[in-house]
Each structure stands twice: as C-alpha cells, then as structure tokens.
Amino acid sequence: MSALVLGHKNPDTDSIVAALAYAHVLNARGIEATAVAQGEAAPETQFVLNKFNLKAPSVVNSVAGKDVYLVDYSDLAQAPEDFMDAKLLGIVDHHKLGDVTSDSPLECWIQPYGCSNTVIKMVADFYNVSIPADLAGAMVCAILSDTVLFKSPTCTEYDKKAVEELSKIAGINDVEALGMEMFKAKSNLDASARDLIFRDFKDFDMGGKKIGIGQLELISLSMVTPELKASLIAELNAVKAEGRHSAVLVLTDIMKEGSELLLSSDDENTIINALGTKKADVMWMPGVMSRKKQVVPPLQAAFKA
C-alpha cells in the first residue's frame, strides 16, 4: 500500500511542494509513497507548478486506514478529521512540535529552518537521493516563499545554501527575479474575502482557545482597497463565529517588510498588546514577516498567562 505524504489544511507552496519532494525521496529509498494535499493549489503555488511543469497532488479529505507521512506541520488541528484512524510513519517539518502522536516509532526530521523543503534537501543529501531539475526548481520557490526572499527572521544559512544548490540543479540564474515573479502571482486578489483569508490559514490551540491565524503576503498593501479591507474584516467576524475565540489576518507588505493586523476576537486587547501594536484604524507591525516566529509565539505566551 502506497503511503500518503500530506501537507496541512489550506496548503501553501511549501506544503504542496514538500509533499511532492518528500514522496520523491521516499520512493528513491524504496518506500512507496504518493503526494496528496488537503486543498487546491493557491495562485502562487499554481504559478510554481506551471513554471516547472509539475502536476498538483490529488486532494484528499480522508486518511482513515492509510499510512501517512506529514510534511510542514505536526498539529492535529491542521490534519484531516479522521487522522487518528491513520498510521503515522513520519514527520518532516520546520515548525514547533505539535500534538500529533503515534502508536509506534516513527521517522522525524524537524529542524528550525525557514522552510520544510530545506529540511527535505537535507534528508535527500543524507540518503544520497538526487533531485530532478523540475522538482529542484519548485523547491527553490518554496524556500523563497517561506523565507520571503530571505527577508524573514526564520531564514537561515541552511535555506540560502539549499537555494544555491537547488538553483544549480534547476538551471535558475536569477533567484531574485524568480522570487518577484512568484510574489506577483501570490499578490493576486481576484478572489472572495473568505478565500483570501483561508489562502494561508491555520488554527491553533492556545490555552484551550481556538485561535485562527491567516497570512496574506502582498508586494504592496496599497493593493488592498478600503472596500476590500472592509470585506476582509466582515468575513473575519464570520470566521470567528464558526467556533473560534479569535480570527486574525496578518497582511504582510513584502517590500516594506512589515504587516498590518486585522482581527475579530473576544479579547482584542490581549492580541494587540501581545503583538506590540496599538488599537487603531491601521495596526501596523514593523518588521513582522513571519507568522511562525513573530505572531504565533507571542500569542501562545499571552494566552497561557
């Protein structure tokens, strides 16, 4: 039976490319594996897949009775609803260790790098698995996406080294130009307010409270019209009403290197104070580029208190 390699809900580029890349590494090791996803590719991801002639993984909603490898997460909230009825074989991730458990020993590769694909490059090197040019190109894009062109505080020298080596395999001569092409695709706002919020959205358990955090990365926040901002705020209220204590949207300006905070919460002050901003029409957070490192940890600390 082929094991499933599965990224998180509302998959981003790292999640989908990591599934493809790790399935390749597993198959090269003699472990039959198939990349799947928990959702359709977002505009940036579809650009990457098209650019390197790769096919998007099939979408699955159920993993009961299946062997599963997780990539880019280890939180139950981001897994399929019937995940507890699957057999977990391994995890590849670059986030905090989540709350998934297993009935038997498993293979874990978790490193504090800027991207899961950087970890996968490390695993491929460990097992002497060669990476084909098309997949190498997509892995470069995933690393550029997750590290925001190396601007994110999550970026490490390992991410930069992986991009350098993978770019040679893929024949990429201008990494920055590729990154800007990719972020232009990512900045596509031709979608409903709900789809924009859930383009890269994760739920977290913080002190027993369900906190949903989305991030929308744009070349410039000037693209967000007053009408769109009002729609996003209204939709955040609806998202919160679906059983969450808080719904947060981090609007990141890639070029200005900062983010604006939008939220709907039972306790706005706790979130605003934890993220170091002030209640205002524009709650700007200078230098905030990473949900993983600059948004989730201070909120978790605040809700533990």
In this structure, what are the phi and psi dihedrals at residue 56, rounded to the nearest 5 degrees?
-65, 140
Predicted confidence (pLDDT) at residue 1 exceeds the cutoff of 90: no
Please provide the average confidence, as pLDDT, over all residues in the chain: 96
Q: In whole angstroms, what is the distance from residue 295 CA to residue 302 CA?
A: 11
Q: What is the pLDDT of residues 213-225, one digit of tens each?
A: 999 999 999 999 9
For the segment 244-251, the average pLDDT, to the nearest whole number, is: 98
Predicted confidence (pLDDT) at residue 258 exceeds the cutoff of 70: yes
Are the C-beta atoms of 53 and 170 separated by less than 8 Å? no
Distance of CA 142 to the CA centre of its chain: 9
Domains and CATH numbers, the chain: 3-184 (3.90.1640.10), 193-304 (3.10.310.20)
Predicted confidence (pLDDT) at residue 305 exceeds the cutoff of 80: no
Q: What is the pLDDT of residue 304?
A: 87
Q: In whole angstroms, what is the distance from residue 272 CA to residue 27 CA?
A: 46
Which strands form 33-37's sheet, in the order they lie side by side?
58-59, 33-37, 3-6, 67-71, 87-93, 107-110
Q: What is the pLDDT of residues 144-161, one digit of tens each?
A: 999 999 999 999 999 999
Q: What is the pLDDT of residue 118?
A: 98
Predicted confidence (pLDDT) at residue 186 exceeds the cutoff of 70: yes
Distance of CA 88 to the CA centre of its chain: 20
Are the C-beta atoms of 19 and 63 separated by less than 8 Å? no
Give burial (CB, 10 Å; 0-12/13-18/19+) of 302: middle
In this structure, what are the phi and psi dihedrals at residue 73, rounded to the nearest 5 degrees?
-175, 160
Nearest residue to 145 via CA among 96, 174, 197, 186: 186
Query: CA distances (Å), 201 to each of 103, 106, 240, 292, in order?
Result: 29, 27, 13, 12
Q: In whole angstroms, what is the distance from residue 268 CA to residue 16 CA?
A: 33
Q: What is the pLDDT of residues 62-95, one digit of tens each?
A: 999 999 999 999 999 999 999 999 999 999 999 9
Q: What is the pLDDT of residues 8-41, one digit of tens each?
A: 999 999 999 999 999 999 999 999 999 999 999 9
Question: 3-state class of 217 per DSSP?
Answer: strand
Answer yes or no: pTM beyond 0.85. yes
For the segment 37-54, the average pLDDT, to the nearest whole number, is: 96
Q: In whole angstroms, what is the distance from residue 239 CA to residue 246 CA?
A: 9
Are the C-beta atoms of 175 and 142 separated by less than 8 Å? no
Are the C-beta atoms of 249 and 197 separated by less than 8 Å? yes
Specify the amino acid at residue 148.
Answer: V
**Residues with Cβ within 8 Å of residue 88, at least 6 apart in sequence:** 68, 69, 70, 100, 101, 102, 106
